[in-house]
Structure 1
Amino acid sequence: MTRIVRFADRSGSPQTGVLDAAGAVHAFGEPRVAGLLQERVEELRARVESALAAPATHAAADVLLLPPLDGRMEVWAAGVTYERSREARVAESTEQTVYERVYDAERPELFFKSVPWRVVTDGEPIAVRPDSALDVPEPELGLVVNRYGETVGYLIVDDVSSRAIEGENPLYLPQAKIYAGSCAVSSAFVPAWELADPGALGIRMTVWRDGAAVFEGATTTAAFHRAPEDLVGHLTAAQPFPDGVVLSTGTGIVPGLDFTLTDGDVVEIGVDGLGTLTNPVVGDPGRLAWLAEAADRPALRAAHRGPAASGVPAR
């Protein structure tokens, strides 16, 4: 299966291209993912097929894969889109009925999550807030949407969240959801035409602590309570996304209230057909201050990226 990537070559310059089955990169000649999302889905498909028909331009060892977001792209997310999510929000909240009502409402819960420069990718750290006693990863299917509202690809998203802060008052949602290290995405997205049935994908998550699994969960997008295109329609109904947008579709895996992420944990998320996203956890969002400089110098990310499987036992 081919994957669309954003990468830095040895010169440090960001580029985009397609990763073939052998791990080699075929550059598009377009430096930004935002540029790709100016195209209709059929135009992007033609670009991918043309690049794959030409010889590879970069060996896997010669590139640093970057989060596939840039320009004026944004990350948004949906909430309470699975029954398990509804149950968890009701259990943690002092205002339970708002989650009960939104689950079956015509209008979904949608919220802003991140700008591109704050997003981390595989092997890079995610964070928990020091002013929160209950923090969880939320594994989700992400839709890559072009400027025309067409879903052109799929990726993995970890919507890291403070259950303690959101549970205290739903109006604290932005503080629970938006902070340094709260948004991780896979380092590639799979073109929409390559994924036969996004409505039947298995999603798995394991949290490792000192080499042992302390949480394991699984779900499937077949349990999704809303159609993805319905979420996209609500998101794009009243605002333009000139460089495209990533829409994370909500989680069906939520640990119990007796579990919280802690410094040193490793979160591993797998989605059928999309691969795996693995991130170590740090207990201080200040340890992601390097993201500001890496926005202009992406090669700096390598120094903050351990092996993707660090802390995960060999299989």
Structure 2
Amino acid sequence: MRIIRYLNKNSSSVLGAVTDQGEIYPLPYSGFMELVNQADLVGVTALKLIESLIAVMEPLEEKIDELELLVPIVAPEVWASGVTYEKSRDARNYETSSEILDNGTCYDKVYDAERPELFFKSTAARTIGPNAPVYLRSDSTWQIPEPEVGLVISKTGRIVGYTIGNDMSCRDIEGDNPLYLPQAKIWRNSCVIGPAIRLAETVEDPYNFQLICRIFRADQLVVEGTANTSQLKRRFEELVSFLIRDNEVFDGTVLLTGTSIVPPNEFTLKENDQIEIEISSIGKLSNPVKLQHSKEVM
């Protein structure tokens, strides 16, 4: 079972349940965490609550690709994890000019350390959803998408859903100095989640998500990469445990879990490229690439 948000014919935001057969049912909740919390309140799983509701309902006539989809959850905060895959470590080492330490670079060190790399990525106001444009940062010449599995968590750190994330990154800025990480990661329209949330209880093995990223330029496929969460260095619960340690986490926070799909080193995104990130059990997250208008940049 997947959960989406979409605009109805009255331009109102609606929460919807999407069955594995593709049928869509509107739900009487304002957001995903209200659904989860209501299920907890009555002592059932979110899936059971949804099934009881839709048993007496008729599905929408529209299919999911006919709806105007929104961000599936208005996440108060989005955090992200780095160097959780070997491919990510190797990419960071390639781009960095950091001094080599006795036991390797800082990225080698964090890859093997007990404590993972976690960083703040976005707020609700900064996060965009399906089909909205991602923007290129004006002071970077080496920018890429980072396709990732996103964990939707409760304020206690319980994983209640899985979504797709695009952690847009500036490889040149981060490579110049690891202390530039916030500038390499956070700018307008640089965080995308969607198009749906897969209920955690309906995922048999979260370490068997197959990710595909495709980038099109002038309607031609120029980059394609695949990864599987079986390649993760760290477990999802481990990442969450460090995020909530001595930290206040809000209901509906999203934690991106790192990438193992990195375009070729000579590649950078350009205006009008199209990014597609797909996880078969969650959906396909598509976004065009745009330059920021000069009047938007102060």
TM-score w.r.t. the length of structure 1 is 0.84
Question: Is 1:75 the counterpart of 2:78 in the alignment?
Answer: yes
For residues 138 and 285 of structure 1, do their structure 2 counterparts lie closer, same or farther at Cα, with a shift above 3 Å needed? farther
Following TM superposition, by how much is the alpha carbon of 1:23 offset from its aligned partner in structure 2, in angstroms?
A: 4.3
Deviations 1:119-154 (A, max 9, x none): 222221111111101000001111111223111111
In structure 2, C-alpha distance between the alignment counterparts of 1:21 and 1:288, rounded to whole Å: 41
In structure 1, C-alpha distance between the alignment counterparts of 2:250 and 2:230, rounded to whole Å: 31
RMSD (Å), alpha carbons: 2.2
Aligned to 2:46: 44
Q: Of residues 38, 54, 57 in structure 2, which corresponds to 1:55? A: 57
Question: Is 1:64 the counterpart of 2:68 in the alignment?
Answer: yes
Q: State the AA in 2 paired with 1:67.
A: V
Q: How does 1:30-41 map to 2 (within 5 A)?
A: 30-38=29-37, 40=40
Aligned to 2:95: 92
In structure 1, C-alpha distance between the alignment counterparts of 2:295 and 2:73, rounded to whole Å: 21
Identical-residue share of aligned pairs (%): 39
SS in structure 1 at match of 2:263? coil
SS in structure 2 at match of 1:158? strand
SS in structure 1 at match of 2:257? strand
Aligned to 2:176: 168
CA contact (8 A) 2:3 2:32 kept: no
Unaligned regions of 5+ residues in structure 1, if any? 290-315
Q: Of residues 96, 116, 121 in structure 1, which corresponds to 2:129? A: 121
CA contact (8 A) 2:128 2:191 kept: yes
Larger mean Cα displacement after TM superposition, 25-34 or 134-143: 25-34
Larger mean Cα displacement after TM superposition, 167-176 or 92-101: 92-101
Q: Of residues 135, 140, 143 in structure 1, which corresponds to 2:143? A: 135
In structure 2, C-alpha distance between the alignment counterparts of 1:229 and 1:138, rounded to whole Å: 21
In structure 2, C-alpha distance between the alignment counterparts of 1:231 and 1:193, rounded to whole Å: 19
Unaligned regions of 5+ residues in structure 2, if any? none
Aligned to 2:13: 14
Following TM superposition, by how much is the alpha carbon of 1:37 offset from its aligned partner in structure 2, in angstroms?
A: 4.7
Q: State the AA in 2 paired with 1:64.
A: E
Larger mean Cα displacement after TM superposition, 174-183 or 115-124: 115-124
Deviations 1:146-169 (A, max 9, x none): 223111111111111101111111
Aligned to 2:238: 230
Following TM superposition, by how much is the alpha carbon of 1:191 offset from its aligned partner in structure 2, in angstroms?
A: 0.8
CA contact (8 A) 1:24 1:56 kept: no
Q: State the AA in 2 paired with 1:218.
A: T
CA contact (8 A) 2:195 2:283 kept: no
For residues 176 and 193 of structure 1, do their structure 2 counterparts lie closer, same or farther at Cα, with a shift above 3 Å needed? same
Q: State the AA in 1 paired with 2:82.
A: G
In structure 2, C-alpha distance between the alignment counterparts of 1:119 and 1:125, rounded to whole Å: 11
SS in structure 1 at match of 2:88? helix
Following TM superposition, by how much is the alpha carbon of 1:56 offset from its aligned partner in structure 2, in angstroms?
A: 3.4
Q: State the AA in 1 paired with 2:262.
A: V
For residues 54 and 113 of structure 1, do their structure 2 counterparts lie closer, same or farther at Cα, with a shift above 3 Å needed? farther
Q: How does 1:145-294 map to 2 (within 5 A)?
A: 145-284=153-292
Following TM superposition, by how much is the alpha carbon of 1:58 offset from its aligned partner in structure 2, in angstroms?
A: 4.2
Following TM superposition, by how much is the alpha carbon of 1:196 offset from its aligned partner in structure 2, in angstroms?
A: 1.4
Equivalences, count:
287
Q: State the AA in 2 paired with 1:104.
A: D
In structure 2, C-alpha distance between the alignment counterparts of 1:265 and 1:288, rounded to whole Å: 20
SS in structure 1 at match of 2:247? coil
For residues 147 and 103 of structure 1, do their structure 2 counterparts lie closer, same or farther at Cα, with a shift above 3 Å needed? same
CA contact (8 A) 2:161 2:198 kept: yes
Deviations 1:200-253 (A, max 9, x none): 121111111112111111111111000011001111122232322111100001
SS in structure 2 at match of 1:251? coil
In structure 1, C-alpha distance between the alignment counterparts of 2:116 and 2:292, rounded to whole Å: 32
Following TM superposition, by how much is the alpha carbon of 1:24 offset from its aligned partner in structure 2, in angstroms?
A: 4.3
For residues 12 and 211 of structure 1, do their structure 2 counterparts lie closer, same or farther at Cα, with a shift above 3 Å needed? closer
